[in-house]
Structure 1
């Protein structure tokens, strides 16, 4: 998957998540997706390479980085809690949708119950719901 398709896939996924909003607080070169005011995804270009920056559980982030050379520590973010995803071999639509949804659910799980647009433990039947 190339970088522009990566960003389109990530944006399409994010836009379908309940309560997600796109903002541009850092200018036109940064697309920032938030849920209830909390960031769960950023998109920009790192010298010529489109990237998607996502929140991740530290253990999952480490495993993702170990198993895919196109996943690195978060660009301009806390390296333990954020990952950067760029296009390349092994990066497909399923992986992108999973990491975007996981980032969203991780942020939602830290909101108060009243603020949560979905139950982060059951939404979508994804990785978190299986735990």
Structure 2
């Protein structure tokens, strides 16, 4: 999967916006203002950091050498997917969905209601 395809997939999800809060080299995807995905724009090879449960992160890192703890993030909850190291696009999509769902689950009732209304 390339960056444009990943970007389009993220933006197709309800309530998602993209921002550059950490400078021009880090594209962040947020649902209702909460980050669920980050990808650096200053690397040749596509990398994506996603949130997941600690157990799922350990499982993914054990199964795929191209998945490791995300730089500058809580490695217990965030993993980096290095697409040039053989991470299947299917795994990236599934984990993007999981990250989005985890963040949505943590939203307040009021914000969840706003999201449902979009």
Q: TM-score, normalization: structure 2?
A: 0.86
Structure-1 residue corresponding to 2:57: 61
Q: 1:105 aligns with which of 101, 105, 109?
A: 101
CA deviations 1:55-78 (Å, max 9, x no partner) are 111100110000001100011100
2:71 is the alignment partner of 1:86? no
> Unaligned 5+ residue runs, structure 1?
119-131
- 1:50, CA displacement in angstroms? 2.7
Q: Take 2:6 and 2:96, find their aligned partners in 1: how far apart are those partners?
A: 7
Alignment of 1:6-85 (within 5 A): 7-44=3-40, 48-85=44-81
Moved over 4 A (4+): 45-48
Residue in structure 1 matched with residue 111 of structure 2 by the alignment: 115
Decide whether aligned partners of structure 1 residues 104 and 19 sit closer, same or farther in structure 2, where only a CA change above 3 A counts: same
Q: How many residues are treated as equivalent by the alignment?
A: 114
Report the RMSD for the aligned CA atoms in angstroms.
1.8
Q: Which has the higher contact order (CA 8 A, sep 6+)?
A: 1
Higher helix share: 2
**Offset, 1:92:** 2.5
CA deviation after TM superposition for structure 1 residue 8, in Å: 2.8
For residues 81 and 46 of structure 1, do their structure 2 counterparts lie closer, same or farther at Cα, with a shift above 3 Å needed? farther
